[in-house]
Structure formats: structure tokens, C-alpha cells
Amino acid sequence: MPERAKIPRRNAGNNLEGAQLMTYVPPEPLAWNFCPICGRQLEIRHDGESDRPHCAPCRRFYYRNPVPATCGFVRRGDGSLLLVQRGVEPCKGYWSLPGGFMELGETPGECIVRELREETGLDVSRVRLLGAQTKPSPINGAILVLGFVAEEWTGDLRSGSDVMNARFFAREERPDLAFTVHKDLLAIYDQEYA
């Protein structure tokens, strides 16, 4: 049996042409075992609320929190919505909203403006927070995604970093999205822009 027959198709509407149909094995979930400052093995200690990994010499508890990310809703005058085909794992080859993880030192609004420029070449000058959703993530524990609507934007669309394709879709021709958290935010968007 050919290798690709083992890969479940998430939906018939997804265009996987050109996508790498490899079985992706995500890395182990993040865990605190050793202190990243001094390198000692961590011990479990109660912080007043829960038992958590702790380094006594560094006087520091280590926490696992959702990782913040952003995604963007860019629409044209005809109501079509911008989606990108992912060029990296996880879900390489599947379509998603453009966006990515926040860097230290930037605001959520700055994050989505940067991600849109990197992934699609578009310059967004005004964004509005649409909503926030969180979901478990096998790699990060959980992610917190802030969805922004691009209210003013310019530029010529291109496929930028981490993206193999970028295009606008009418509502009825949209492919299924790779991530549940994006689907939830898209439902909020569709309610507001129905």
C-alpha cells in the first residue's frame, strides 16, 4: 500500500497538492525536569496553590502556561477572506488563518501586524481585537490565540515565510482549517460579518 494511503484526509476540500504527505510526529510535550538557570534537577514543592517543579538554590517555581499567539482576518471588499497554506509542521500543507506566536517585547497588535507582513507581504495599519480562544496543544501544553481583524491594509499578496500559498477565499469555497482554535475564532468572525 502506498505511504500516502495511511494519511487520513481531514476533509475532501483541502488542496494537498504539493504538500509533503509525511507522517508528522510532534516532539514530546514541554516538561520542567531541570532548572534552566543552574541545571539542577527540579523538585516538586507546594507553592501555596499546587505542587509545582521548584529549584531551591534559584528560589524559583516553574510553571506551564498557555503560549500566546495571534491570528489575522484580512478581508477584501467582496467579502473574501485571506487564508494561508502552511509550509511548516504541524499541519504542513493544510490551510489556516495567517498568524503566529508572540515574541517578547511586542504587543499582540504588533505581533499580528508582523506575522501578516512576514507570511503574506501585506501591510496592516489598523487592527481590532475580534476574540480570544484557548485549546490544548500536544506540543506547548495549551495555546491562547487572539484573533484580530485587519481594518486597514495595503500591499500585494505573496506567499512569505512558513507559507506555501496565500489566497483569498469566498465563504463557500473555504477549505477546512487546520486548527480547532482557528475554527472557533472563524465562527465568531462569521457571526460578525455574516
Binding segment (CB under 5 A) for Zn ion, from list 31-39, 70-78, 113-121, 130-138? 31-39
According to DSSP, residue 22 is labeled P
CB of residue 31 to Zn ion, shortest distance in Å: 16
Sheet containing strand 60-61, edge to edge, reads 43-46, 51-55, 60-61
CB of residue 42 to Zn ion, shortest distance in Å: 8
DSSP secondary structure string, 53-65?
EEETTTTEE----
Q: Does 37 bind Zn ion (CB under 5 A)?
A: yes
Binding segment (CB under 5 A) for Zn ion, from list 4-12, 29-37, 81-89, 177-185? 29-37
CB of residue 50 to Zn ion, shortest distance in Å: 19
CB of residue 103 to Zn ion, shortest distance in Å: 25
Q: Does 56 bind Zn ion (CB under 5 A)?
A: no
* 124 burial type by CB count under 10 A (0-12 exposed, 13-18 middle, 19+ buried): buried
Binding mask 104-133 for Zn ion (x = CB under 5 A): ------------------------------
**Alpha carbon distances (Å) from 7 to 4, 24, 91, 98, 135:** 5, 10, 12, 24, 24
Between 51 and 172, name the residue whose CB sits nearer to Zn ion: 51
Considering only residues 53, 54, 55, 119, which one is a binding residue for Zn ion as defined by CB under 5 A? 55
Binding segment (CB under 5 A) for Zn ion, from list 4-12, 52-60, 106-114, 185-193? 52-60
Helix (H, G, I), strand (E, B) or coil at 181: helix
CB of residue 56 to Zn ion, shortest distance in Å: 8
CB 112 within 8 A of CB 118: no
Between 41 and 154, name the residue whose CB sits nearer to Zn ion: 41
Q: Does 58 bind Zn ion (CB under 5 A)?
A: yes
C-alpha cell at position 8: 487520513
| Bond prior to 90 in cis (omega within 30° of 0) | yes
CB of residue 48 to Zn ion, shortest distance in Å: 20
CB contact set of 139 (below 8 Å; sequence gap of 6+): 26, 27, 29, 30, 90
Q: Which helix (H) or strand (E) holds 172?
A: none
Residues within the interface to Zn ion (CB under 5 A)? 35, 37-38, 55, 58
